[in-house]
Amino acid sequence: MTTISLYNNKGGVAKTTTAITTASCLVQRGERVLLIDLDPQANASDAAGIEVEEDASLLLELLLASSGSTPLSLGQVETLLCPSPVIGCDVIPASPALDQFAEQAAQGTNLEFRLQTILAPLRSSYDYILIDCPPSLSLLTMNALAASDYVVIPCDSSKYALTGMSNLIAKYNTIRESYNPTLEIAGILNTKVEMRVQTSRLSREKLAAYFGDLLFTSYIPKSASVEKSQYANETLLTYDRHSPALTAYQSFTEELIQRVSTKKKQQTNH
Ligand SMILES: Nc1ncnc2c1ncn2[C@@H]1O[C@H](COP(=O)(O)OP(=O)(O)OP(=O)(O)O)[C@@H](O)[C@H]1O
Ligand SMILES: [Mg+2]
C-alpha cells in the first residue's frame, strides 16, 4: 500500500480536483483505492457523492479516541468507510466537525500520529490511499503527512502559489525531521495551466528551473469541463472522456505510479 497526501497550504490550487480525478484514474486501472477527505470543507466527500454530516464525524471521534497506546481493530476502522457511487472507491469522508479536532485533542498524546494509527489495520486492503488535505498546515494536515509515504504538491500558475513554494518546502523539511523521516515529495503538479497565456508559461518555466525533475512532466490544462463535472456530481471520466484535463490526469497518474514504484525499488535496494 502506498499513501499519498495532496497538499499545498495555498487554497484553490486543485488539491481536491487532483485527489478525486487521480482516484478515479487509479480505479479505472484496476487499483484498490481509498480516498480520505481530511479537509473540514468536505469538498472531496461531496464530489464523491457522499452526504456530508454537518456536526457529527465518525472520523473525528476515532481521531480523538486513538491516542496510539492501543492498536485499533479492523472492525473499528471499517465503520469509517463509505463506498463512493461516483468514483467507485472507498472514501473516509470529512465533516465541518473536523475543525474541532485540534481544540478537542489539545491535552492528548501522539497528536500527530492519530491517522497513522487509524490506517494501520487497512494496510493490506488497498493499493493506494490518497489524502486530500486542507489548505493550511493544521494538526489534520500534520496527521496526513505523518501517515504518508509521499506528498504530491499541486501548484497553479498564480504568482502567490509560486512565491509560496519555498516556504512550503521549508515546512515540508521540518515535518520530515519531526514526524516522518521517510516522507518523500513524489512531485510538483502544475495545475490550471493555460499555455497560450504568457504568465502561465512563465510560471511553468520558473517551476521547472527551481524544482527540476521534481516537477511532473504532465501538467493539467485549465478546462471548463473540470468545474462542469463537479456541478454535475460526476468525475471527468464519466462527464467528458475527451477533456484535455482528463487526458492530462491519466498521464499524471501513469507518471505518479512510475515514480512511486521507482522510489520504492531504490529504497529496497539500499
Ligand atoms: N484544470 C482545471 N481547469 C479549470 N478549473 C479547475 C481545474 N482544476 C481545478 N479547477 C477549479 O478550481 C477550483 C479549485 O479547485 P479545488 O477545489 O480542487 O482546489 P483545492 O486546492 O482543493 O481548494 P481548497 O484549498 O479550497 O481545498 C474549483 O472550482 C475547480 O473546479
Ligand atoms: Mg480542496
Ligand 1 centroid, distance to 65 Cα (angstroms)? 33
Q: What is the pTM of this model?
A: 0.96
CB within 8 Å of 233: residues ≥ 6 apart: 47, 49, 86
Q: How confident is the model at residue 73 (pLDDT cuts 50, 70, 90)?
A: very high
Give the residue, by CA position, lying nearest to ligand 1 atom 3: 222
C-alpha cell at 246: 482528463
- 179-204 per-position pLDDT tens digit: 999 999 999 999 999 999 999 999 99
Contact present, 109 and 68 (Cβ < 8 Å): yes
Q: How confident is the model at residue 268 (pLDDT cuts 50, 70, 90)?
A: low
pLDDT averaged over every residue in the chain: 94
Is a pLDDT exceeding 80 seen at residue 68?
Answer: no
- 222-262 per-position pLDDT tens digit: 999 999 999 999 999 999 999 999 999 999 999 999 999 88
Contact present, 93 and 82 (Cβ < 8 Å): yes
Q: How far apart are CA 38 and CA 138, in angstroms?
A: 10
Q: How confident is the model at residue 161 (pLDDT cuts 50, 70, 90)?
A: confident
Q: What is the pLDDT of residue 160?
A: 87
Ligand 2 centroid, distance to 186 Cα (angstroms)? 19
Ligand 1 within 6 A of CB of 226:
yes
Give the residue, by CA position, lying nearest to ligand 1 atom 18: 14
Contact present, 84 and 235 (Cβ < 8 Å): no
Q: How far apart are CA 264 and CA 251, in angstroms?
A: 20
Of 269 and 89, which is predicted with more confidence? 89
CB within 8 Å of 163: residues ≥ 6 apart: none
CB burial string 97-115: b at 16+ within 10 A, e below: bbbebeeebeeeeebbbbb
Domain segments of the chain: what residues? 2-269
Residues with CB under 5 A from ligand 2 (ion): 15-16, 43
- 163-175 per-position pLDDT tens digit: 889 899 999 999 9
Contact present, 106 and 55 (Cβ < 8 Å): no
Is a pLDDT exceeding 70 seen at residue 265?
Answer: no
Which CATH number describes the domain made up of 2-269? 3.40.50.300
Ligand 1 centroid, distance to 86 Cα (angstroms)? 18
Q: What is the pLDDT of residue 76?
A: 92
